[in-house]
């Protein structure tokens, strides 16, 4: 079975310790610096020891991210959008198909109209 794209993974490539914060950043699309800063602030402002327990529990339970999950950064960004709001991403995909349809229609129109002008020229030569 292929790996899910809407699951939470540990990001071991950009990890500082266990990759929980970088995984969260990768999941949501928030900059990893802010995630780490938020975690540290939460711990200092009375979250201790619960944030630490949650961190270690997440680090133990979540799987590391498969290295070939996304082809490039654009695909990774797309799936971040899907995780945040699937309906909007679906609309985006539909919009890109509509855009393709318009471009193809332009090409079609160009060739069909050119052929009629060519036919007109042949007609005038007779």
Partner 1 sequence: MEDILVPIIIVATLFIGLPWLILHHVTKWKTSASLPVEDERLLDDLYEFARRLEDRMHTVERIIAADNPEWRPAIRNDRDIESDPRIGTPYERSK
Q: CA-to-CA distance for 93 and 63, rounded, in angstroms?
A: 29
DSSP 3-state of 91: helix
Residue 23 burial (CB count, 10 A): 25
Q: CA-to-CA distance for 126 and 123, rounded, in angstroms?
A: 6
Closer by beta carbon to partner 1, 17 or else 110: 110
Q: Contact letters (x/-) for partner 1, 67-106, by CB under 8 A?
A: --------x--x---x---x--xx--x--xx-xx-xxx-x
Closer by beta carbon to partner 1, 18 or else 26: 26
Q: Is 110 in the site for partner 1 (CB under 8 A)?
A: yes
Task: Find the Cα–Cα–Cα–Cα dihedral 75, 61, 23, 34, rounded to 10°.
Answer: 150
Report which DSSP code applies to 63. Answer: P
DSSP 3-state of 123: helix
Q: Is 37 in the site for partner 1 (CB under 8 A)?
A: no
CB 50, min distance to partner 1, A: 16
- Under rule CB under 8 A, how many of the chain's residues touch partner 1? 22
CB 93, min distance to partner 1, A: 5
Residues near partner 1, by CB under 8 A: 2, 4-6, 75, 78, 82, 86, 89-90, 93, 96-97, 99-100, 102-104, 106-107, 110, 114
């Amino acid at each position: 079975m292929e790996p899910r794209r809407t699951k939470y993974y540990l990001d071991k490539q950009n990890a500082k310790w266990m990759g929980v914060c970088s995984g969260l950043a990768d999941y949501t699309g928030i900059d990893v610096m802010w995630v780490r800063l938020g975690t540290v602030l939460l711990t200092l402002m009375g979250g201790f020891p619960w944030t630490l327990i949650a961190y270690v529990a997440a680090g133990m339970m979540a799987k590391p991210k498969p290295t070939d999950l996304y082809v490039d950064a654009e695909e990774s960004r797309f799936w971040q959008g899907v995780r945040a709001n699937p309906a909007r991403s679906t609309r985006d995909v539909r919009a890109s198909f509509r855009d393709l349809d318009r471009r193809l229609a332009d090409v079609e129109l160009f060739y069909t109209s050119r052929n009629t002008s060519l036919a007109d020229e042949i007609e005038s030569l007779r």
